[in-house]
Amino acid sequence: MGRKLLLDKAHVENIRLYDVYRREGGYRSVEKALKKSPGEIVEEVKKSGLRGRGGAGFPTGLKWSFLAKPEGVARYLVVNADESEPGTFKDRYLMEFIPHLLIEGMIVSSFALGSNSSYIYIRGEYAWIVDILEQAITEAKNNGWLGKNILGSGFDCEIYVQRGAGAYICGEETALLESLEGKRGNPRIKPPFPAVKGLWDSPTVVNNVETIAAIVPIINEGGDEYAKIGVGKSTGTKLISACGNLNKPGIFEIDMTISVEEFIYSDEYCGGITKGKRLKACIPGGSSVPILPANLLLKTAKGDTRMMNYESLSDGGFATGSMMGSGGFIVLDEDQCVVKHTYTLARFYRHESCGQCSPCREGTGWMEKILLNIDKGKGKMSDIDLLWDIQRKIEGNTICPLGDAAAWPVAAAIRHFRDEFEWHVLNPDECTKRNYGLAHYAEPLKMAVPA
Amino acid sequence: MAEEKKLFRVTIDNVQVDVEPGTTILMAARKIGAGVTPPAMCFYSKLKGSGGKCRTCLVEVAAGSTADPRPMPKLVASCRTTVMDGMVVKNYSSERVMEARAGVVEFLLLNHPLDCPICDQAGECHLQDLSYEHGKAGTRYEFRRRTFTPEDIGPYIQLHMTRCILCYRCTYVADQLTDNRVHGILDRGDHAEISTYISKAIDNDFSGNMIDVCPVGALTDRTFRFKNRVWFTKPVDAHRDCPTCCGKVTMWNRGDEVLRVTARKDPWGEVQSYDGQPGWICNTCRFDKKKLGDWVVEGPTKISRHSVISANHYIAAKKPRETISDVMGGRKPKLLMDIHSISDVNDPSVDLSKISGPPTGDTYDENHQE
């Protein structure tokens, strides 16, 4: 059983309320942090090796140290709670059950960054969580953790919650800032980066909910202690939201030392595939990361066991690996159809493309239509190559990563499941009645024998 | 020496140029000339904040700067990337760029109706130029093209949403030139459209400039609609004393008739600047002054932009050298058949300048009596 840092108190009754949270040792980190200097906290976070939990995995301490600090200009901390990636729902759990953990982390982070007004930009569909957060903020304020001169340190901080209007694109940090400013949520062209010119042209740090929550144990335990958990550059614990054909889907906190196989099959975590079926494929980090067939998921191309951490999941690059992403673990059993699944994702990205740059605006719609044709058995063999060509022309040529996110699932599906696409083309009648099945996707990998 | 500004040296397609810090790659390329300049559909140097959207101006940065000569991993939008000293940029010389650009052109044309034969913009359309240069002859798109319900946005401007490429230029014009923007982008993704706020008419004094900045035929002049093809009209520089704008325009005439008035354009298809100020024109000049007497004519417009309307306006065009006698070792080519001996059509004895009206079959008919 791995250590739990974020969710160890999540099942205490009424932990949502301030009194219980405080009794369980909450807000200790604020007391500790306000005695230090902001620079020391940033150092502590750097030492912890914490990586951004939103998807890209950028080291948080490094991000914080990039923040420009011109005299007389306000700085802002914005928490990205616009969790809209299909398959990812970890932030929702955190905010819904232990909202004070986020508030506590925000106070410490705001102090470290010098932000006097910090924002939570929350996904519009999480309507009820807004109330939970606002109640937590009021409680914290009534108890002197927010407002003017917190704990007599001379540091002022206010936290505001802003609801989005239901656009996936507003989870991209610059689009989020545009939306927060009250404009159309279109991503900005970088540079300038938010660390220099962010919210209202002021230096801004945008962090994921889980990242900010992880600041609390880092301050409580110390950066060095935190860095001891996990392996290599994957330090600390990570929340994984597992869904799909699993016996026990849900949120799990892992310390990144377990293997993917253990995560799926052990009773402590997902408890295996439903009805004893076999594993066909899995998307390990939210819908936009490449899908992997079972054989590549459990073992890397080199034959090592694949672990649940940043390095191991991305081992082999996109050719034979995937990404940790935001931790949205989606499992497909042998009865699932990869073509239909890819079509569903393409439809999502088409719907959520902001329409700013042409490759993404036009390309996502095109891919969706071709995938629908193949799924319905109306596809042609040339469509598969066409899809490959379209995704290649979208990827890397857009302003924000949504273009990449739309291209990667299609690319990975064709890369690993091309025979299934071809089967759909060659068997137009059959493919509407039954699925391709497991085929060879779970067979052991052919290992290259060293000469 | 101290007062001298440090200039950045950039190499674009092996041509070096010194530009001021803060210049974008695209503007540096424009300084060199059309041979290395990437096309730009959404960028407009006179509109703040424009650019970065269409992705046609993607270039490859082979070396970031002298200090950090690493190449940039992705292609960058040249219109929004500023130069660094010692930067090496590849535009037409990079296969990656050409491939990506061909892809972008394909994407832009995916839902474009290609109704050039009935489009007023044809002949001065940037999308036409772009697709001639970088596009492919056919399309791989086999689905219904997206259409929109037509919307009336006022008496002067005609909106054809199906032709729009969502460059956002017109919204920047409304933001930066007029007091109040009443139109904008509704919806998102491939169903996003330009529209007005509850079908409100756009009637600001400077709103007509939206027509000039529109790179395609999405916003056209209603007073010129279906009047003539641009390549049949004669562009003439003219000016008048206008209380609201600079009054310097290009008139597009047919005979004595003023068919259309636009702002003057520079070689990049943008409005010309006078003393650093963009020469936007007001709606009175554009839509209401349609008599020759309203204007002081300066002379024929020199069109330097590559486009259909620049046909027959080549400046200093060189006549190609006759090489056929060189190839044949000084011998004259042998006449195999004189077409005029078997056909009356295009009879060289008929002087076309002497006949009235266009030539018909009757013109060459010897038996035909006038």
Looking at the predicted structure, is the pLDDT value of residue B314 above 60? no
Q: Nearest residue on chain A to B185, judged by CA atoms? A: A184
Looking at the predicted structure, is the pLDDT value of residue A291 above 60? yes
Please say whether the beta carbons of A102 and A94 come within 8 A: yes
Q: Which residue has the higher pLDDT, B317 or A157?
A: A157
What is the phi-psi region of residue B128: left when phi exceeds 0, alpha when psi lies from -120 to 50, beta otherwise? alpha
Check residue A242 and give its pLDDT.
Answer: 92
User: Is the peptide bond prior to B320 cis by the omega test (within 30 degrees of 0)?
Assistant: no
Strand ranges across the sheet with A292-293? A250-254, A238-244, A328-333, A279-283, A292-293
CATH classification of B147-224 is 3.30.70.20, yes or no? Answer: yes
Q: Which residues span the domain enclosing A271?
A: 234-333
Looking at the predicted structure, is the pLDDT value of residue A79 above 50? yes
Q: Which residues of B touch A358 (CB under 8 A)?
A: 53-56, 104, 107-108, 165-166
Q: Which residues of B touch A364 (CB under 8 A)?
A: 189-190
Residue A418's closest CA among A333, A351, A342, A314? A342
- Work out the angle at residue B211's Cα, subtended by the Cα atoms of residues B208 and B213, and round it to the nearest 5 degrees: 115
Q: How many CA atoms lie within 13 Å of B53's alpha carbon, on the beta-carbon side?
A: 23
d(CA B95, CA B98): 5
Distance of residue B362 Cα from the nearest chain A Cα, in angstroms? 52
Q: Nearest residue on chain A to B52, judged by CA atoms? A: A189
Q: Which residues of B touch A184 (CB under 8 A)?
A: 184-185
Strand ranges across the sheet with B296-300? B257-263, B248-254, B234-239, B296-300
CATH at residue A263:
3.10.20.600
Distance of residue A192 Cα from the nearest chain B Cα, in angstroms? 10
Q: Which residues of A touch B99 (CB under 8 A)?
A: 393
What is the phi-psi region of residue A200: left when phi exceeds 0, alpha when psi lies from -120 to 50, beta otherwise? left
Distance of residue A420 Cα from the nearest chain B Cα, in angstroms? 23
Mean pLDDT of all residues belonging to chain A? 88
CATH at residue A352:
1.20.1440.230
CB neighbour list of residue B118: distance below 8 Å, 6 or more residues apart: none
Question: Least CB-CB distance to A356: which of B53, B75, B103?
Answer: B53
Residue B154's closest CA among B172, B170, B176? B170
A31 membership: H or E segment, kind and range: helix A28-33
Q: Which of A194, A228, A262 corresponds to the end of one domain? A: A228
CATH classification of B8-94 is 3.40.50.150, yes or no? Answer: no
User: DSSP letter string over A351-395?
Assistant: HH--S-SHHHHHHHHHHHHHHHHHHTT---HHHHHHHHHHHHHHT
Residues A220, A311 within the same domain: no
Chain centroid, CA B238 distance in Å:
21
Percent of chain A with pLDDT over 70: 98
CB distance from A362 to chain B under 8 Å? yes
Would residue A191 count as lying in a domain?
yes
Residue in A356, A389, A404 to test binding to B, most B beta-carbons within 10 Å: A356
B315 pLDDT tier (thresholds 50, 70, 90): low
CATH at residue A90:
3.40.50.11540
Query: Given an 8 Å threshold on Cβ–Cβ distance, is B107 in contact with A386?
Result: no
Distance of residue B89 Cα from the nearest chain A Cα, in angstroms? 17
CB neighbour list of residue B222: distance below 8 Å, 6 or more residues apart: B155, B156, B157, B158
Check residue B1 and give its pLDDT.
Answer: 43
Check residue B306 and give its pLDDT.
Answer: 63
Q: Exposed e or buried b for every residue in B32-47, given b needs 16+ CB within 10 A? A: beeebbbbbbbbbbbb
User: Is the peptide bond prior to A192 cis by the omega test (within 30 degrees of 0)?
Assistant: yes
Stretch 170-229 of chain B: residues touching chain A, C-beta under 8 Å:
184-185, 187-192
Residues A256, A351 within the same domain: no
Query: Given an 8 Å threshold on Cβ–Cβ distance, is A361 in contact with B54?
Result: no
Please say whether the beta carbons of B279 and B273 come within 8 A: yes
Residues A305, A373 within the same domain: no
Query: Given an 8 Å threshold on Cβ–Cβ distance, is A354 in contact with B189?
Result: yes
Here the tokens at position A117 are 């007004």
Q: Which of A333, A362, A389 corresponds to the end of one domain? A: A333
**Pick from A320-329, B245-254, B316-325: least confident:** B316-325
Instruction: Please determine whether the domains at B8-94 and B147-224 fall in the same fold group of CATH.
Output: no
Structurally, chain A folds into a number of domains equal to 3
Would residue A443 count as lying in a domain?
no
* The most confident of A240-244, B62-66, B229-233, by mean pLDDT: A240-244
Distance of residue B234 Cα from the nearest chain A Cα, in angstroms? 35
Check residue A2 and give its pLDDT.
Answer: 64
How does pLDDT run across A99-133, given as a tens digit for each residue? 999 999 999 999 998 888 999 999 989 999 999 99
Q: Which of A211, A228, A245 corresponds to the end of one domain? A: A228
Which ranges in A222-352 belong to alpha helices (H)? 223-228, 260-265, 294-298, 310-313, 317-320, 338-352
Mean pLDDT in residue range B195-214 = 78
Stretch 106-135 of chain B: residues touching chain A, C-beta under 8 Å:
106-108, 110-111
d(CA B194, CA B170): 9
* Residue B277 DSSP symbol: E
d(CA A310, CA A57): 8
Query: Given an 8 Å threshold on Cβ–Cβ distance, is A393 in contact with B192?
Result: no
Q: Which residues of A touch B56 (CB under 8 A)?
A: 358
Give chain B's length. Answer: 370
Question: Least CB-CB distance to B80: which of A189, A355, A397?
Answer: A189
Query: Given an 8 Å threshold on Cβ–Cβ distance, is B190 in contact with A184?
Result: no
Which ranges in A229-337 belong to alpha helices (H)? 260-265, 294-298, 310-313, 317-320
How does pLDDT run across A210-238, given as a tens digit for each residue? 999 999 988 888 888 888 888 888 888 88
CB distance from A350 to chain B under 8 Å? yes
Question: Least CB-CB distance to B103: which of A189, A361, A393?
Answer: A393
Neighbours of B4 (CB within 10 A): 6
Query: Given an 8 Å threshold on Cβ–Cβ distance, is B107 in contact with A358?
Result: yes
CB distance from A386 to chain B under 8 Å? yes
Residue in B188, B193, B194, B197 to test binding to A, most A beta-carbons within 10 Å: B188
Query: Given an 8 Å threshold on Cβ–Cβ distance, is A361 in contact with B189?
Result: yes
Check residue A448 and give its pLDDT.
Answer: 65
> What SS3 string covers B154-203?
CCCEEECHHHCCCCCHHHHHHHHHCCCCCEEEECCHHHCEEEEHHHCCCC
How does pLDDT run across B154-177, given as a tens digit for each residue? 888 888 888 988 888 888 888 888
Neighbours of B81 (CB within 10 A): 22
Residues A344, A381 within the same domain: yes
Query: In the block, which residue shows the tokens 């502590």?
Result: A44
Domain ranges of chain B: 8-94, 147-224, 230-301
Distance of residue B6 Cα from the nearest chain A Cα, in angstroms? 22
User: DSSP letter string over A39-89?
Assistant: HHHHHHHHHHT-B-SSSS--BHHHHHHT----TT--EEEEEEE---STT--
Q: Which residue has the higher pLDDT, B276 or A384?
A: A384
